[in-house]
Amino acid sequence: MTLLPLIPRGILRLTGPDRVKFLHGLTTGNVKALKPGESHRSLHTSPKGRVLALLGVYAESDALWVETDADRLAWLKASWEKVIIMEDVKIEDRSTELLVTALAGRSSPFPQTPDMPICLPFCRTGPGIEVWATPHETAIFRDGLCKTGTPLLDEAGEEALRIANGMPRYGVDLTEENLPQEGGLDEDTGWISYSKGCYVGQEPIARLHHLGQAAQRLALLKVPEGEILPPGTPVLSGESPAGRVTSSCPGMALAMLKRAFLATGAKLEAGGMADLTPIP
């Protein structure tokens, strides 16, 4: 596994007897099915089904923990507190008390035991794990990993890994204008439960899943080695607009492409570079 840079993450703790029902109705994951020690990816969406935040949810016997991007934390906490009416729920910002160490790669997570920090079986770049711990515990943990030879990525390396995995970043590849399926955030990738029942945004998300296909979708493009396509670069098929680049690194880019141009073998061009092809 590979150690990712330590960056701020937003962490909320929900307590109170109504916490499960409350969070279940505000997110795409099946919170009611989580047992203590279990976790899942999830989304907070608008009534129109647009993505408002990417989440990680972890259950304890007396609390629910929610992780999100640091720049979405204050907005998310305020938004959820506004809809507390009769529910007995308390939402606390615990971001300064816990740090998130992310390890990327396909490997079994560390075993979760009562005396260990919180451990989630996914990370911000895709496959991997996250370990939540106090700043002191985090320093010891990361130092131990480095001493045993765990590779450490810099920010550029992390971005390249995220792009290669097709993992969208909120505010970059996805915004409040996008449906989850446009970013590949679906039941197959562990972000949505279609059997959980009602939640904010359920109707348009479920309708798209059962009756249609997204008009556009995030796709990985192979770019000539060493070349970079600036975000925002239009992607064309001949003279027809096919989409736009959302994020990039040398040799690769993520682009939001119209459905008609997603087929493997489609010939696209962008930024003066021809013969770009979507990678499944």
Mean pLDDT of 70-92: 97
Q: Which of 13-27, 31-45, 259-273 has the lowest average pLDDT?
A: 259-273
Mean pLDDT of 23-37: 97
The order of strands in the sheet holding 90-93 is 39-45, 51-59, 64-69, 9-15, 90-93
More confidently predicted of 244 and 1: 244
Q: Count how many domains the chain has.
A: 1
The pairing of strands 234-237 and 128-133 is unpaired
Residue 197 placed within a domain:
no
Specify the 3-state DSSP secondary structure of 267.
coil
pLDDT value for 111: 45
Dist CA 38 CA 129 (whole Å): 13
Residue 237 placed within a domain:
no
* pLDDT band (50, 70, 90) for residue 258: very high
Q: Is the pLDDT of residue 49 over 60?
A: yes
Q: Is the pLDDT of residue 87 over 90?
A: yes
pLDDT value for 278: 85
Which CATH number belongs to the domain containing residue 27 in this structure? 3.30.1360.120
Mean pLDDT of 52-67: 97
* pLDDT band (50, 70, 90) for residue 263: confident
CB atoms under 10 Å from CB of 210, counted, come to 8
Among residues 158, 205, 197, which one has the least CA distance to residue 180?
Answer: 205
pLDDT value for 264: 63
pLDDT > 70 in the chain, percent: 95
Residue 24 placed within a domain:
yes
Rg (CA), the chain: 20
Residue 41 placed within a domain:
yes
* pLDDT band (50, 70, 90) for residue 213: confident
pLDDT value for 113: 42
Q: Is the pLDDT of residue 266 over 90?
A: no
Q: Which structural domain, as residue segments, surrounds residue 131?
A: 2-147
Q: Is the pLDDT of residue 193 over 90?
A: yes
* pLDDT band (50, 70, 90) for residue 211: confident
Q: State pLDDT tens for residues 102-153.
A: 999 976 555 444 455 788 999 999 999 999 999 999 999 999 999 999 999 9
Residue 127 placed within a domain:
yes
More confidently predicted of 29 and 239: 29
Residue 182 placed within a domain:
no
Residue 187 placed within a domain:
no
Residue 118 placed within a domain:
yes
Average pLDDT over the chain reads 93
